[in-house]
Amino acid sequence: AKWADLCKCEELSFCRRNRVTDQTPLEGNLLFPETRVREGSVKAQQVKVKGVVGDSLYAILESRVGNVSTDLVLQVFPLTGGSFRITIAEEQAPLLRFDAKDALKEPFPLGHFDLSPYHDVEATLLWNEGKKLILKYVPFELLVFSNNQSLYPDIVVNHHRLTKLEVLQNHSNHFCAALEETHLANDNISIVENMSTNTKEDSLLQLYCQNAFEETVHGHLDQKKRGLEAVSMDIMFPFGQHLYGLAERATDLSLSFTKDSLYGSVYSEPYRFYNLDVFEYETQKPLGLYGSIPVLYTLEEKSTSGCLWLNAAETFVDIFPSNWSQESSLASHFISETGLLDVVLFPGGKTPQDVFNQYLLVTGRPAMTQRFALGYHQSRWNYRDQMDTLAVNQRFDQFNIPCDVIWLDIEHTNGKRYFTWDMEKFPDPSSLLKRIGDNGRKLVTIVDPHIKVDNDYFVYREAKANQFFIRKQNEEEEYSGWCWAGLSSYLDFVSKKVRNWWSTRFQFRYYPHFGDNLYTWIDMNEPTVFDGPENTIPKSVIHLDGWEHRQVHNMYGFYMHKATYDGLLQSRNFSDRPFVLSRSFFAGSHRYGAVWTGDNQANWEHLRYSIPMILSLQISGMILSGADVGGFFFDPDPELLIRWYEVAAFQPFFRAHAHEDTRRREPWEFDAQTTTLIRKAILRRYELLPYWYTLFAASSSVNCEADFETCGPPMRPMFWEFSYDKETWKEQTEWMIGNALLVAPILEKDSLFRTVYLPPGNVSHQEQWFDLFSTDSKKRSIAQRGFVQVNAPLGRHIVFQRGGTIVPFRNRTRRSTVCMERDPIGLRIALDHDGKAKGLIYLDDGRSFLYESGHFRLAKYLWNSTGTLQVMIHPLGNKPFVGSDIIIEQIVVYGMKQQPKRAYVSSQLNNATLHFSST
Amino acid sequence: ISKVRGADPQKLHLYENKEGFFHCLNSSQKVPYSSLNDDFCDCDDGTDEPGTAACDGSTFYCENIGYVPVNILSSQVNDGICDCCDGSDEWLGYVDCPNRCVQNGKERIEQMLAEVKIIKQGLKKREELKSLSSLRFSELVNKTKLLQVSIHEAEVLERKAKKELHWLEHVLRVIEARDIVANASVGNLSSHSSGDVVTTNEESSNDLGRTHSLQNEDDELNVNSEKTSDEVYKSTMRSDFVLETCQNISKVYTSSHMLLRLQKLFFDFLSKFPVLSNFFKGSQRKIDTEVLKLCISNLKEHLETLRSELEKNRTELERVQQYFSSDYGPENVFLALRDICLEVDSQGYHYKLCLLSHVTQDSINLGKFSQWDSNYTKMIFSDGTPCWNGPARSTVVNLLCGVNETILKVSEPSKCQYHFWMTTCAVCSVHEMKKLRDEANIILSNLNLTKGQKSNMAHKHDEL
């Protein structure tokens, strides 16, 4: 679908009703009435604060239509780590609202509130780590302070008075239904200034009720049996200079204004969250792609904060400028079609890391990765057959190119019946797995959520017998639509019993040939329905637990990911870390594995946008993420392909993949020089693998702050490390790996050089940078800071190491990560201004959970200004594993002020021989 | 110098200790001798670590006693995977690598025996194919010559017949003109001046003058082809009927002076064409328009036959000559395979491969033969039916030595790019066999065998 084929806010009644722009200003206080907290209703109940919120729109309705309950309950829960969650829902409602709490790590930890003793006009709440919250009653407003001494709040909820919840009512006495009877529906409702209040109210109510129960969008009729149920809230950041987050879409890292030309908005449409399989998606459009992580970060020099909009329904978000005490600020306005009004606020602190920590405390740490997942992945739709797959496997050895995983797309199945094999093309999958395993490699096969309607297909038969499929609106028949398998039914992953059953599908006895080195890829899980509205399933279909699809849509892929993760975990008796790649995702999906940016294109624009897309996923917790190397659609020329490898080798999930209609493009498919240059980029990945693995272990560690030096996402926006430096705020052509390496690849055709920004540091700390892969050894010494020009013909990787850091590496070329596990490591030590540096390495068996019981090594390295390298081993990591006794074979020090004369080792444990050279 | 781990024994002398230094093999760099195989890469060219994985781009020599010694990538040393059949690459013992060399050697010898058997049969078959090809080649050459001759002859005949036809048609027009004049004279004598008739006569004379020039051309043609021409006439004209009809001419024509003159000229001309003149023999040198018309129609029919024959022969020649535009490899061995079509059903499709000609998948064209690879082991077919949104389909046919022409496998590695694997004796080579023998020699010489085993293996070697 092109941008033009996708729904816009104006075409959807819930968004139309709730959005406010130049063209649709507030209409008095009717549509966006004053919401107030009822005096004396605020109570602290154990750890949450509960208040009753009135809504004057419904007060009008109450007086005019009757039978409308207007009491809403506001709840505020403190969470450990200094964030808190607020929900607003009907006090008594005839129907339930979907609670997206599964996105959070359950049971999510709660902190402790102190409610001020006097709370007649406003309530003050204090909770851990010096955070403060002021709840104002009339009008309702929440002021959040990251520091209780501070005069200015970091977050203000409902500053723009856009908080609203459309109260659920029984259809039989729904006020819109009543309205339809009393006032004939009129298509041309207009509001005129001099209307009488009553007439105006009438007209407004009619406008409001338009399409309450059904609407036709892009030719598809959507019937809404529950009527109006949207929720909306504005969240303002007084210190916001830039906003980040709202993944996934192919837009700039720093979010743009979306509303009015007045503000110089880049987009006139709000950012949209509606998980879709967008065919040949375009860049620089606010459309939502395959996954939704409605988390926002805000940044200025000294302060950061954020929020997570916890709602699985279709959602639009406006970003617009605001103000607070003469400060220019940023605001967001979230509008969801249905669901609980539910938001987690992160008062943050000084750096983006503070917000990230709070976010991960709520959504959980990313799953500990399989080490092989950080290697190179070779995929294609499709390796045709067993012989072809083995030939690809063998070619990696022939060209001495490391590769960890070979992927099989949908054609490996028997007619897209997942969990089966096409026995003509793959006559002996077990032998295939063994041969690939013999090289230390893994195989990944694909599984989709659409199940072919075929009574001879065991998965379909069993799921049908158990009624595990999503049902039509009438709830009587199972829903079916078209996808790869032809007419298919869709498993209801939102239901726990379906998820449990799905997990058992990965038992070796159910999935023939599913073996120790076979892992899983789940795709089309937005879900894709070729003949459905916007290529997905209709919103009105019914889930087993009674939910309409509209309530759960954005979490469908999340639940499938969760069930698949659990399946892999169980099938290997909880001894092997699952590896599951998913296309669709939601906040919290990082607990279950990897994602990629879907069906991108082989052009430079898509290469460039892979960076902000992945960075945005990184800061949203989805740390194992990447883009298809080379671009999925169309054919890259060798230059683009080489440059893409040079970019992706320094991004977390490194997989080459291509559409069925493209030419073969494995590393050896072009000329010898192309093979050499692609190999060189892949080797760079393997060289830095100990560092990547350490960063991933840190992100996954619950003790990260205590045990690791650096706990951010492995691939970081420049602003992550240099939030005080405005130059980095919009940077999206270079990034950091951890806190130590700065990557600045070539992103333009025919380009042989580029400008790199090397942050100079600040008053208290001057940065030093070392050009690691310069062909000129002199250039490897301290680089000029600020904007520097670097020449980079094909094959020249622009990576700078930051002074003060120590980066572990391995420089032996092996077939795969498992073949490297006993190899010695090296350390690259880049000294800071004071001649000091520190860093660490984390090692374990790379695949099991034994690290939890001490089978790991965590070594901290400290280089002091006298030129001594100290090694400190984490006391808990003392049990053995393969490679636990490896040695350091090489130490490279950059930036020594004096030529050292000798080197020696002082240790109670080891004898060591030293050779020493300097350049 | 004793063994250096991972070093090729033939290059052992290069690893000597030269005054405490090791000289890197591919550069002028030298490093302390203790750096040799110390599990750290010192030489920039990576040659100081033949026995470890420390240097990228270096190789490790596996002795593989009982089998073939090989150089593997150093990156495969001590990586937990057994690569050398003698297990020597995993000398740190991270993984247990039992020595499989003798077993491999035996298996390989057996395999080679089978391969050699096929090559031998294939070579024999290839000889047959070669003679078939050369026979076919000379047949093609002969056929070309024959066709060229008969085309040339037919062309001559065609031109001659065309002229004759022209002339007869002309005569007919003149006679018809005479009849018109005659009719006019009879019915309307007083109203016509004699001048009119004279004019007509003059016109006729002019026409006859033209006829004469035609006749001259025909004379020239007649020199070479009179006989053939007569034969053709004999065979194609129903002479008995023509004769009979022509003999009646005199009965019909009670002529005028002009007609007589015309008749004279006609028969004079006719005398140049023996067969035609035969038709009129015995007639009293008179002609009838009906007979003339019949003659013209017969001649036209004849010309049509001649032309279609010519067209057929030309097409045939073109077809035959097409054979010469293709490359049939060394000694034209592939000629006999041309137009042989092999069929196979694979993955729901029916494939038809016509060697050196074209390939189809059901009704879709997967390419026309366009070229060979450099050593005549791949037939490349291109320019097939274009793919939707994609390139024209193309096919590569990989040829493997075998006794018969059989398709082993069809695959589509890239969309619309097909690969076939087929066997044919045409690619069996002595060179291949020699390579196998060399390999067998290496394996046998690398075996520490007992006498009995030796003679057994020697016997096998002889089979090779």
Domains, chain A, ordered by start: 3-168+228-363 (2.60.40.1760), 376-688 (3.20.20.80), 693-894 (2.60.40.1180)
The helix-helix angle for B239-247 and B289-325 (nearest 10°) equals 150
Q: Are residues B286 and B335 in the same domain?
A: no
Contact A819 B80 (CB under 8 A): yes
Contact A662 B414 (CB under 8 A): yes
| Nearest CA among A648, A689, A686, A685 for reference residue A808 | A689
Q: Are residues B180 and B282 in the same domain?
A: yes
Task: With respect to residue B109, please indicate whether it lies within any of the assigned structural domains.
Answer: no
For every residue of B345-411, DSSP letters joined together read EETTEEEEEETTTEEEETTEEEEEEEEE-TTSSEEEEE--SBPTTSPBPEEEEEEEE-SS-EEEEEE
Q: What pLDDT, on a 0 to 100 scale, did the predictor assign at position B287?
A: 54
Residues of B in contact with A889 (CB under 8 A): 39-40, 54
Contact B81 A385 (CB under 8 A): no
Contact B79 A440 (CB under 8 A): yes
For every residue of A374-436, DSSP letters joined together read GSEEE--TT--SHHHHHHHHHHHHHTT----EEEE-GGGSBTTBTT---TTT-S-HHHHHHHH
Q: Tell me the pTM.
A: 0.86
- Structural domain of residue B78, as residue ranges? 1-97
Residues of A in contact with B389 (CB under 8 A): 661
Residues ≥6 apart with Cβ < 8 Å to B194? none
Contact B79 A384 (CB under 8 A): no
**Hey, what amino acid is at B407?**
I
Q: Are residues B266 and B411 in the same domain?
A: no
Task: With respect to residue B344, please indicate whether it lies within any of the assigned structural domains.
Answer: yes
The beta-carbon neighbor of B56 closest among A385, A424, A813 is A813
Q: What pLDDT, on a 0 to 100 scale, did the predictor assign at position A413?
A: 97
| Nearest CA among A248, A98, A342 for reference residue A590 | A248
The beta-carbon neighbor of A812 closest among B54, B347, B414 is B54
For A810, name the nearest residue in chain B, comparing CA atoms only: B54
Residues of A in contact with B83 (CB under 8 A): none
ipTM computed for the complex: 0.85
Q: Are residues B224 and B266 in the same domain?
A: yes
CATH number, domain at B405? Answer: 2.70.130.10
Q: What pLDDT, on a 0 to 100 scale, did the predictor assign at position A188?
A: 54
Residues of B in contact with A823 (CB under 8 A): 53
Task: With respect to residue B278, please indicate whether it lies within any of the assigned structural domains.
Answer: yes
Contact B80 A664 (CB under 8 A): no
Task: Give chain B's residues under pLDDT 50.
Answer: 185-258, 282-286
Q: Are residues B144 and B67 in the same domain?
A: no
Contact A440 B347 (CB under 8 A): no
Contact B81 A440 (CB under 8 A): yes
The beta-carbon neighbor of A388 closest among B53, B94, B413 is B413
Burial class of residue B69, CB neighbours in 10 A (0-12, 13-18, 19+):
middle
| Nearest CA among A253, A442, A406, A373 for reference residue A692 | A373
Contact B75 A915 (CB under 8 A): no
Q: Are residues B178 and B284 in the same domain?
A: yes
Report the residue of B41, B79, B97, B400 to disrupt the A interface, i.e. the one with the largest count of A CBs within 10 Å. Answer: B79
Q: What pLDDT, on a 0 to 100 scale, did the predictor assign at position A395?
A: 96
Q: What pLDDT, on a 0 to 100 scale, did the predictor assign at position B326?
A: 85
Contacts of B44-48 with CB under 8 Å at 24 or more apart are B46/B74, B48/B22, B48/B24
Q: Does the bond joining A646 to the residue before it have cis omega, within 30 degrees of 0?
A: no
Q: Are residues A596 and A291 in contact, defined by beta-carbon separation less than 8 angstroms?
A: no
For residue A824, give how far its alpha carbon lies from the nearest alpha carbon of chain B (Å): 9
Q: What torsion, rounded to 10 degrees, do the Cα atoms B269, B271, B272, B278 define?
A: 120
| Nearest CA among B249, B256, B257 for reference residue B280 | B249
Q: What pLDDT, on a 0 to 100 scale, did the predictor assign at position A363?
A: 95
Cα–Cα distance for residue pair A625/A630, rounded to 1 Å: 16
Beta-carbon count within 10 A of A905 CB: 11
The beta-carbon neighbor of B94 closest among A424, A664, A822 is A822
For A820, name the nearest residue in chain B, comparing CA atoms only: B79
Q: Which two tokens stand for residue A420?
A: 């089966």
Task: With respect to residue B115, please indicate whether it lies within any of the assigned structural domains.
Answer: no
Residues of B within an 8 Å Cβ radius of A = 35, 39-42, 53-54, 56-57, 73, 75-76, 78-81, 94, 347, 387, 389-390, 409, 411-417
Q: Are residues B313 and B358 in the same domain?
A: no
Task: With respect to residue B343, please indicate whether it lies within any of the assigned structural domains.
Answer: yes
Q: Are residues B58 and B194 in the same domain?
A: no
Contact B56 A812 (CB under 8 A): yes
Contact B79 A388 (CB under 8 A): no
Residues of A in contact with B413 (CB under 8 A): 384, 388, 664
The beta-carbon neighbor of B411 closest among A388, A661, A811 is A388
For residue A424, give how far its alpha carbon lies from the nearest alpha carbon of chain B (Å): 7
Residue with tokens 């002019």: B206
B323, B357, B392: which is the final residue of a domain? B323
Q: What pLDDT, on a 0 to 100 scale, did the predictor assign at position A111?
A: 77
Residues of B in contact with A414 (CB under 8 A): none
Residues of A in contact with B78 (CB under 8 A): 822
Beta-carbon count within 10 A of B431 CB: 9
For B409, name the nearest residue in chain A, comparing CA atoms only: A387
The beta-carbon neighbor of B79 closest among A663, A811, A819 is A819
Q: What pLDDT, on a 0 to 100 scale, did the predictor assign at position A261?
A: 62
For B73, name the nearest residue in chain A, comparing CA atoms only: A400
Task: With respect to residue B347, please indicate whether it lies within any of the assigned structural domains.
Answer: yes
Residues of A in contact with B347 (CB under 8 A): 424-425
Q: Are residues B170 and B36 in the same domain?
A: no
**Hey, what amino acid is at A769?**
W
Q: Are residues B294 and B162 in the same domain?
A: yes
For residue B56, give how far its alpha carbon lies from the nearest alpha carbon of chain A (Å): 6
Q: What pLDDT, on a 0 to 100 scale, did the predictor assign at position A373?
A: 98
Residues of A within an 8 Å Cβ radius of B = 384-385, 387-388, 397, 400, 424-425, 438-440, 660-664, 683, 811-815, 818-824, 889-890, 915
Report the residue of B414, B417, B419, B421 to disrupt the A interface, i.e. the one with the largest count of A CBs within 10 Å. Answer: B414
For B76, name the nearest residue in chain A, comparing CA atoms only: A814
For residue A606, give how far its alpha carbon lies from the nearest alpha carbon of chain B (Å): 21
CA B310 centroid distance within chain: 24
Residues of A in contact with B94 (CB under 8 A): 822
Number of domains making up chain B: 3
Q: Are residues B268 and B402 in the same domain?
A: no
Residues of B in contact with A916 (CB under 8 A): none
Contact B390 A664 (CB under 8 A): no
Task: With respect to residue B284, please indicate whether it lies within any of the assigned structural domains.
Answer: yes
Q: What pLDDT, on a 0 to 100 scale, did the predictor assign at position B264?
A: 61
Contact A814 B75 (CB under 8 A): yes
Contact B390 A438 (CB under 8 A): no
Contact A822 B411 (CB under 8 A): no
Q: Could you read off the pLDDT of A778-803 as tens digits, one per residue?
A: 666 677 789 999 999 999 999 999 99
The beta-carbon neighbor of A813 closest among B75, B412, B417 is B75
Contact B411 A387 (CB under 8 A): yes
Q: Are residues B270 and B368 in the same domain?
A: no
Task: With respect to residue B399, please indicate whether it lies within any of the assigned structural domains.
Answer: yes
DSSP3 helix / strand / coil % (chain A, rounded to 5) = 25, 25, 50
B302, B323, B344: which is the final residue of a domain? B323
B288, B304, B323: which is the final residue of a domain? B323
For A663, name the nearest residue in chain B, comparing CA atoms only: B414
Residues of B in contact with A820 (CB under 8 A): 79
Contact A385 B411 (CB under 8 A): yes
Cα–Cα distance for residue pair B172/B178, rounded to 1 Å: 10
* Average pLDDT per consecutive 10 residues, chain A (919 residues; last block may be shorter): 83 90 54 68 74 62 61 86 89 88 85 80 84 88 89 91 84 73 53 63 76 91 92 92 95 91 76 96 93 95 92 96 83 96 92 94 96 98 93 95 98 96 94 94 97 97 97 94 97 98 94 90 97 96 96 98 97 96 98 97 98 98 98 96 98 97 94 97 98 97 90 96 94 98 98 96 92 77 84 96 97 93 96 95 97 96 92 94 92 87 70 67
Please list the active-site residues of A: 523, 526, 599
